[in-house]
Structure 1
Amino acid sequence: MSLKRKATKSLVWTFTQQFGNQLIGFVVSLVLARLLLPEDFGLIGMIAVVVAIGNALLDGGLTKSLIRDKDCDEEDYSTVFYFHLTSSLIIYFLVFVSAPFIADFYEKPILVNIIRVYSLSLIITSFSAVQVARLTKIMDFKTQALIAIPAALVGGGVGVLLAYRGYGVWSLVWSSILTSTINSIQVWIYSGWSPDFIFSKAKFKKHFNYGYKLTLSDLLNRVFNNLFLIVIGKYFSAAHVGFYTRAEGMKQLPVNNISSALNKVSFPLLVSIKDDEVRLKRVYKKLMLMVVFVITPILIILATLAEPTFRFLFKEKWLPAVPYFQILCVTGLLFPLHSYNLTILNIKGRSDLFLKLEAIKKLIIIIVIVLAIPFGILALLYGQVIVSLLAFFINARYTKKFINYSGWQQIKDVFPILITAALSGGIVFVLDQFVLINQLDIIRIVLGGIAGSAVYLSFAFIFRFDSLFELYKLILKK
Structure 2
Amino acid sequence: MASLRSLTLNGVKWYLIGDSVIIAFNFVIGIILARLLTPEDFGIIGVYGIFFALAEIFINGGFSMSLIQKKDMSDLDCSTAFWANIIVGIFFFLIFELSSPLIASFFNIPVLTDIIRVSAIGLLIGSFTVVQTTLFTKRVEFKTISIIRFLGSVSAGLLCVFLAYQGLGLWSLVIQGLASGLIRSVLLWIVSKWRPKFEFSWQSFRAMFSFGGRILGTRLLESLSGQASAFVLGKAFSPRDLGYYQKGAAFSRLLSTSISGALFGVSFPVLAKTKDDETLLYIYRRYIKVTSMVIFFMMLLLCVLAHPLIVFLYTDKWEMSAILMQIVILGLMFDHIIGLNNNIFNVKGKGDILLRLQIAKTTILFILLCLSFKFGIYGVCVAEVLYYQCAIAMCGYQTKKIIGYGYFSQMKDILPYLLMSGIAVSPAFVLTYTALSNLAVLLIGGITSILFYISILIFRKDPIFLQYVWNDTRIIKMRTKLKIN
* TM-score normalised by the chain length of structure 1: 0.97
SS at 2:425's partner residue?
A: helix
| Overall identity of the aligned pairs, in % | 31
Which residue does the alignment assign to 2:290?
Answer: 290
- Looking at structure 2, the residues matched to 472 and 8 of structure 1 have their Cα atoms a distance apart, in angstroms, of 15
- Give the aligned residue type for 1:271: A
Aligned to 2:461, which of 437, 456, 464? 464
- Give the aligned residue type for 2:14: W
Q: CA deviation at 1:336?
A: 1.1
Is 1:131 aligned with 2:132?
A: yes
- Looking at structure 2, the residues matched to 420 and 263 of structure 1 have their Cα atoms a distance apart, in angstroms, of 24
Which residue does the alignment assign to 1:185?
Answer: 186
Q: CA deviation at 1:162?
A: 0.5
Is residue 50–residue 95 contact of structure 1 (8 Å, CA) maintained in 2?
Answer: no
- Give the aligned residue type for 2:305: L
Q: CA deviation at 1:114?
A: 0.7
> Closer, same or farther in 2 for the Cα pair 1:245/1:141, shift >3 Å?
same
- Give the aligned residue type for 1:472: W
Alignment of 1:128-207 (within 5 A): 128-207=129-208
- Give the aligned residue type for 2:211: Y
- Looking at structure 1, the residues matched to 99 and 437 of structure 2 have their Cα atoms a distance apart, in angstroms, of 49
Q: CA deviation at 1:476?
A: 5.5
Which residue does the alignment assign to 1:342?
Answer: 342
- Looking at structure 1, the residues matched to 215 and 471 of structure 2 have their Cα atoms a distance apart, in angstroms, of 35
Is 1:256 aligned with 2:257?
A: yes
- Give the aligned residue type for 1:82: W
Is 1:323 aligned with 2:320?
A: no
Q: CA deviation at 1:474?
A: 4.7
Q: CA deviation at 1:59?
A: 1.1
Alignment of 1:402-417 (within 5 A): 402-417=402-417
- Give the aligned residue type for 1:363: T
Is residue 75–residue 200 contact of structure 1 (8 Å, CA) maintained in 2?
Answer: yes
Which residue does the alignment assign to 1:352?
Answer: 352
> Closer, same or farther in 2 for the Cα pair 1:420/1:106, shift >3 Å?
same
SS at 1:167's partner residue?
A: coil
- Looking at structure 1, the residues matched to 286 and 444 of structure 2 have their Cα atoms a distance apart, in angstroms, of 31
Is residue 58–residue 88 contact of structure 1 (8 Å, CA) maintained in 2?
Answer: yes
Is residue 247–residue 321 contact of structure 2 (8 Å, CA) maintained in 1?
Answer: yes
Is residue 303–residue 326 contact of structure 2 (8 Å, CA) maintained in 1?
Answer: yes
Alignment of 1:65-464 (within 5 A): 65-273=66-274, 275-433=275-433, 437-464=434-461
* Larger displacement relative to structure 2 (282-291 or 118-127): 118-127
- Looking at structure 2, the residues matched to 339 and 111 of structure 1 have their Cα atoms a distance apart, in angstroms, of 32
Q: CA deviation at 1:477?
A: 3.6
Q: CA deviation at 1:330?
A: 1.0
SS at 1:206's partner residue?
A: helix
- Looking at structure 1, the residues matched to 133 and 329 of structure 2 have their Cα atoms a distance apart, in angstroms, of 30
Q: Deviations over 1:307-363 (max 9, x none)?
A: 110011111100011110001111221011111111111111111111100110111
SS at 1:119's partner residue?
A: helix
Q: Deviations over 1:67-95 (max 9, x none)?
A: 01111011010100000011100111111
SS at 2:453's partner residue?
A: helix
- Give the aligned residue type for 1:247: G
Q: Deviations over 1:170-211 (max 9, x none)?
A: 000000100000001001111221111121111111101111
- Give the aligned residue type for 2:396: A
Q: CA deviation at 1:298?
A: 0.8
Is residue 369–residue 383 contact of structure 1 (8 Å, CA) maintained in 2?
Answer: yes
Is residue 400–residue 407 contact of structure 1 (8 Å, CA) maintained in 2?
Answer: yes
Q: Deviations over 1:254-297 (max 9, x none)?
A: 01211101111111111100x31011001001011101111111
- Looking at structure 2, the residues matched to 329 and 474 of structure 1 have their Cα atoms a distance apart, in angstroms, of 30
- Looking at structure 2, the residues matched to 375 and 4 of structure 1 have their Cα atoms a distance apart, in angstroms, of 47
Q: CA deviation at 1:97?
A: 1.0
Q: CA deviation at 1:466?
A: 2.0
- Looking at structure 1, the residues matched to 151 and 380 of structure 2 have their Cα atoms a distance apart, in angstroms, of 38
Question: Unaligned regions of 5+ residues in structure 1, if any?
Answer: none
Is residue 57–residue 219 contact of structure 1 (8 Å, CA) maintained in 2?
Answer: yes
Q: CA deviation at 1:473?
A: 4.1
- Looking at structure 2, the residues matched to 9 and 427 of structure 1 have their Cα atoms a distance apart, in angstroms, of 35
- Looking at structure 2, the residues matched to 63 and 476 of structure 1 have their Cα atoms a distance apart, in angstroms, of 38
Q: CA deviation at 1:475?
A: 5.2
Question: Unaligned regions of 5+ residues in structure 2, if any?
Answer: 477-485
Q: Deviations over 1:406-461 (max 9, x none)?
A: 1111111111100011112223212332xxx2222111101000111111111011
- Looking at structure 2, the residues matched to 474 and 123 of structure 1 have their Cα atoms a distance apart, in angstroms, of 43
- Looking at structure 1, the residues matched to 139 and 354 of structure 2 have their Cα atoms a distance apart, in angstroms, of 25
Is residue 37–residue 164 contact of structure 2 (8 Å, CA) maintained in 1?
Answer: yes
Is residue 11–residue 261 contact of structure 1 (8 Å, CA) maintained in 2?
Answer: yes
Is residue 7–residue 270 contact of structure 2 (8 Å, CA) maintained in 1?
Answer: no
- Looking at structure 2, the residues matched to 374 and 418 of structure 1 have their Cα atoms a distance apart, in angstroms, of 32
- Looking at structure 1, the residues matched to 262 and 403 of structure 2 have their Cα atoms a distance apart, in angstroms, of 23
SS at 1:249's partner residue?
A: helix
RMSD between aligned alpha carbons? 1.2
Q: Deviations over 1:362-407 (max 9, x none)?
A: 1111111111111111011111101110011111122111111011
Q: Deviations over 1:16-44 (max 9, x none)?
A: 11112211221111110010000000001
SS at 1:2's partner residue?
A: helix
- Give the aligned residue type for 1:448: G
Is residue 128–residue 187 contact of structure 1 (8 Å, CA) maintained in 2?
Answer: yes
> Closer, same or farther in 2 for the Cα pair 1:68/1:474, shift >3 Å?
farther
* TM-score normalised by the chain length of structure 2: 0.96
- Give the aligned residue type for 2:108: E
